[in-house]
Amino acid sequence: MPNRPIFKGNRLLWQPIVSRYSGSIAMAELEEMVGRVESLVAAKDWAALAELDDEVRRCVDEAVADAGELGQERVRAGVERLQALYDQARESSEKERDEAAEALRANNRTQKAAKAYLDNQ
């Protein structure tokens, strides 16, 4: 890991550079992202989940890039958990969409029946 010079008083010290992409930071961000996605899926907050998508992708890319340093199993587990959450979100949102579509069709049938009844009066 590269070092950078820092000065304390008149002494020169060398401090390790910790980048945004260092292993522990990337893994912590991935684990935090899993928690955020879990919360959004549980709340069925599809709009917020969609807004978070680019950040999730960036976080996964960083963790995968550092997989050797982080340990491939931890990264794989995090990515697989995110994939499972996205699958759950897709299934749940599709179910909600289908239920809404059925409710609209039922409403249309009711309106047509009411119109037919009134037309035959």
| Mean pLDDT for the stretch of residues 51-79 | 83
Q: Is residue 41 part of a domain?
A: yes
Has residue 76 got a pLDDT over 50? yes
- Percentage of the chain modeled with pLDDT above 90: 38
C-alpha span between 51 and 117 (Å, rounded): 47
Cite the beta strand spans of the chain per DSSP E: 3-8, 11-16
State the total domains in the chain: 1
Q: How confident is the model at residue 101 (pLDDT cuts 50, 70, 90)?
A: very high
* Residue 19 phi, psi (nearest 5): -85, 170
C-alpha span between 75 and 64 (Å, rounded): 7
Q: Is residue 54 part of a domain?
A: yes
Q: How confident is the model at residue 95 (pLDDT cuts 50, 70, 90)?
A: very high
pLDDT at 18: 45
Q: How confident is the model at residue 65 (pLDDT cuts 50, 70, 90)?
A: confident
Provide the residue range defining the domain that includes 36: 21-119
Q: Is residue 8 part of a domain?
A: no
Of 95, 66, 60, nearest in space to 80 by CA: 60
Q: Is residue 5 part of a domain?
A: no
C-alpha span between 26 and 54 (Å, rounded): 15
